[in-house]
Structures are given as structure tokens and as C-alpha cells.
Amino acid sequence: MKVRETALPGVLILEPRVFGDSRGFFIETFQTERYAALGITQPFVQDNHSRSARGVLRGLHFQRSRPQGKLVRVSRGCVFDVVLDINPDSPTCGQHASAILSDDNHLQMWVPPGYAHGFCVLSEIADFEYKCTDYYQPQDEGGVLWNDPALAIDWPVSEPKLSDKDRQNPTLQTLLEGSQS
């Protein structure tokens, strides 16, 4: 497996080996020992699968008191995937890492606990799958406004399809100011 570090501590872009021939392909999407060697040692407790149409943007999401690590990938289609550092004590707070994840490139992104995460769909349909290191707690969920100008994320969509909740997320500065009070 090829591994690329990003500018954010612990955030990795992973390229698993793909074994293909005229019949199709085989890919190992997770193997405990191999991923532990990369520092991904937390146990995964939940697998999620979402399907979204072109232009849908989900995020930027995180959990406040029980942060989830996420190993994300796309099994069908193509997305622009973003990880945002929201830790006010981090030297990279407010910075992000991004990658195109698709069923063609088979890339995965490791999002350690404590980061915000989001993606937008570039293909007609995308199936987005991810393993989580903690259980989803709806009352614990937080978010950052996807188009916060201070973040300078170059989203490849100008008018995404958003949930009402994501439309109302605060800017990172507002979020951080609220957590200090």
C-alpha cells in the first residue's frame, strides 16, 4: 500500500493495492495489522454507507465529546473529500487537506479523531463508505460552515445541495469562540 502524508498531523491518503485482470479486480479495503503499522490502531465499531447525487455536499461534520476516527472511501462514483483541523491548540488549526476519492483510484483517507470532515459529489451518484472508531451520537454532532471564507477550501461546486443543518453551521471562528466561553 502506498501512503501519502498530508499537511495535517495524522491525516493520511492511502492507496491500497488493486489486483485486476479481465474479470475485474480485488482490493483489500482494511486489514488490522497493515493499518496498525500506519498508526491506525483504534478499533472500528461502526461502518456507514451513504449514497448521494451529483452536487450534494455533506459536512463539515465532527463529534464534540466523543470524536470519531474515520477511514473513508468511495465504492461507486467520485467525491472531493476534505478534512479540517478544528483543534484550537493545533498549529494547523483552520487548515485542511483534500483529495479526490473515486471507484477508479481506490484511494482512502484516514481522518483521525478530532478533525471535521466533509465531501461533495462529483459524479452522477456516489456511494461513500466509512469505518468509525466511535458510535455516532446525534446530540454530540457539530459542524463548520462548508464555505467559511477563512478556510479557503476550493470546493469544486458553487451551489451545492445541502441539508438544512449544514446550511446553518457556524464559521470556524464562531465555533471556536463558542467553545471558549
CA 38 to chain CA centroid, nearest Å: 18
Which of the following is catalytic: 35, 96, 115, 130?
Answer: 130
Give the torsion through C-alpha atoms of 50, 53, 55, 60, to 10 deg.
-10
Can you point out the beta strands (E) in 56-144? 57-63, 70-76, 78-85, 96-102, 108-111, 115-121, 125-132, 141-143
Which of the following is catalytic: 61, 96, 106, 117?
Answer: 61
Give the torsion through C-alpha atoms of 64, 170, 102, 156, to 10 deg.
-170
| Among the listed residues 107, 125, 109, the one whose alpha carbon sits nearest the alpha carbon of residue 117 | 109
Distance CA 9, CA 107 (A): 19
Give catalytic status of residue 35 as yes or no: no
Give catalytic status of residue 117 as yes or no: no
Known catalytic residues are 61, 130
